[in-house]
Amino acid sequence: MTKQTVNIAIVGTGVIGAGWAAHFLARGFAVTATDPADGAESRLRDWIDNCWPVVERLGLADGASRDNLTFTPDVHAAVRHADFIQESGPERLDIKHSLIASIEAGARADAIIASSSSGLAISEIQAGARHPERIVLGHPFNPSHIIPLVEVGGGNLTSPENIARTMAFYASTGKKVIRINKEVKGHIANRLQVALWQEAISLVQRGVASVADIDAAISYGPGLRWALLGPFLNLHASGGPGGITLLLQHLGPAQREWARDLGTYPETDDYIESIAQGVDAELQSYDFPEMLHQRDQLLIQLLEAKRTLSQLP
C-alpha cells in the first residue's frame, strides 16, 4: 500500500481517533472520519487545528493538508472506499462487535480493519465477523499524533499476510511498529506501565513516598534513560564490560528479594481518593494544560534529537 493508493477511514473520533486522523493527514493521506456523537465533527476539526502546529514541526509529507479531512456520521459512507480502517471506539467488547458489524456492512472485503484497543484481545473482537482474517490490532499511544509506537498483532483468525501488510503500512507512515507474537491482556507497553503503576500506588499507600516524589523518581531518574534505550539496553550499559549478563548475575539475588517485597494492585477502588489527592497537591503550583503543551514540545525535541543520532534504536 502506498499513499497514492490508500484511502483512510477513522471510526471513532475521541482523543485516540483524533490523534490518528491528525497523523494520517500529516502524512498526506485523504481521511474520512465518522462518529455518531453530537458535535463530533466540530470537536475533531478544532482538535486537529490545535495540534496542527505540532505535526507541522514533526514534518509534513507532500500534499499534507487539513483540507483532506472529510467527516460523515454515516459509518457505511465513511468506510465504503477505504483501504485501511482505524477503529478507535470505546473499550467495550459489545461496542467493538457492533462497530465491526457496521464497518463490515459498508467496507470492501479486502479492507484492513485495525483496532486501537488498549487491552481487548483481537480474537475476541473478531468473533462473529464476516472477514475476521483482516481484523488486526493497531494500538497507538497517547498523544498518538506524536508518539511513534504502534503495537500490531492478530487474533486466532487474522491472516499473517494482513499482519505483515499492517506493519508495513504503519512503518511507511513513520510509526515505530512492534509485533505482538502472542495475545495477552493489555498487550505489551500497557502491561509494563501497569507493573510500574502497581508499585507506585503501593509505595504511596505504604507511606514510603508522596505522589510528587514518585513522579520525580521516574521523570528525573530511570525515565530519562528509558526514553533513549529501553530497559534491557540500559541494563546492558550498566553492566560495563560484562554487560547485561554480569549485571543480572550481580543484582539477581537483590532483585529477587526486592521483587518479593513489591506491592500488589489494589483489589478495590479505596486507593483512588488518596492518589487523586496526591496528584492535586502536586499540581497546585502548575497550569496543567500548559504543562501538557510543554510536554508535547519536549517530546518533539526528544524525537528530533533521536532522529539525528543514528546509533539510538
Cβ neighbours of residue 75 closer than 8 Å, sequence gap 6 or more:
11, 34, 99, 102, 103, 106
CB-based contact 9:138 (threshold 8 Å): no
Domain that holds residue 22: 8-179
At 232-289, the pLDDT tens digits run 999 999 999 999 999 899 888 898 999 999 999 999 999 999 999 999 999 999 999 9
| Domain endpoint, select from 179, 198, 227 | 179
pLDDT in tens, 135-155: 999 999 999 999 999 999 999
As a whole number of angstroms, the distance between CA 261 and CA 126 comes to 40
Residue 251: what pLDDT? 87
161 and 231 inside one domain: no
Tell me if 86 is assigned to some domain: yes
Q: pTM score > 0.85 for this model?
A: yes
C-alpha cell at 111: 479492507
The answer on 166 and 32 residing in a single domain is yes
Average pLDDT score, the chain = 94
Q: Is residue 132 located within the same domain as residue 269?
A: no
- Asked if residue 184 is part of any domain, the answer here is no
Q: Kindly state whether residues 273 and 148 are assigned to the same domain.
A: no
Do 30 and 151 share a domain, yes or no?
A: yes
Q: What pLDDT score does 258 carry?
A: 92
> Does 1 fall in a domain?
no
How does residue 3 score in pLDDT terms, banded at 50, 70 and 90?
Answer: low
Q: Do you know the residue count of the chain?
A: 313
- Tally of domains within the chain: 2
74, 170: one domain: yes
As a whole number of angstroms, the distance between CA 107 and CA 87 comes to 13
Residue 95, all three cell numbers: 461496542
Q: What is the 3-state secondary structure (H, E, C) of 113-139?
A: EEECCCCCCHHHHCCCCCCHHHEEEEE
What DSSP assignment string belongs to the chain?
--TTT--EEEE--SHHHHHHHHHHHHTT--EEEE--STTHHHHHHHHHHHHHHHHHHH-PPTT--GGGEEE-S-HHHHHTT-SEEEE---S-HHHHHHHHHHHHHHS-TT-EEEE--SS--HHHHTTT-SSGGGEEEEEE-SSTTT--EEEEEE-TT--HHHHHHHHHHHHHTT-EEEE--S--TTTTHHHHHHHHHHHHHHHHHTTSS-HHHHHHHHHTTHHHHHHHHHHHHHHHHHTGGGHHHHHHHHHHHHHHHHHHH-----SSGGGHHHHHHHHHHHTTTS-HHHHHHHHHHHHHHHHHHHHH-TT--
Please tell me whether residues 174 and 43 are part of one structural domain: yes
- Is 234 a domain residue? yes
Report residue 162 as a C-alpha cell.
494482513
Percent of the chain surpassing pLDDT 70: 98
Q: Give the per-residue pLDDT at 14.
A: 95
Residue 308: its pLDDT value, please? 87
The pLDDT of residue 306: 87
Contact 113, 100 (CB under 8 A): yes
266 lies in a domain? yes
Is 60 exceeded by the pLDDT of residue 59?
yes
pLDDT at 2 over 80: no
> Residue 48: inside a domain, yes or no?
yes
Residue 3 lies in a domain: no
Examine the domain organization and report whether 157 and 269 are in the same domain.
Answer: no
Identify the domain boundary among 179, 214, 246: 179
Query: pLDDT band at residue 52, thresholds of 50, 70 and 90?
Result: very high
Angle at 121 between CA 118 and CA 126, to 5 degrees: 115
Q: Which three cell numbers, joined as nine digits, stand for 280?
A: 492535586
Instruction: Please classify residue 61 by burial: count the beta carbons closer than 10 Å to its beta carbon, then call 0-12 exposed, 13-18 middle and 19+ buried.
Output: middle
Whether 162 shows a pLDDT value over 90: the answer reads yes
Is 313 inside a domain boundary?
A: no
Grade residue 4 by pLDDT with cuts at 50, 70 and 90.
low
Q: Answer whether the bond into residue 148 is a cis peptide, omega within 30°.
A: no
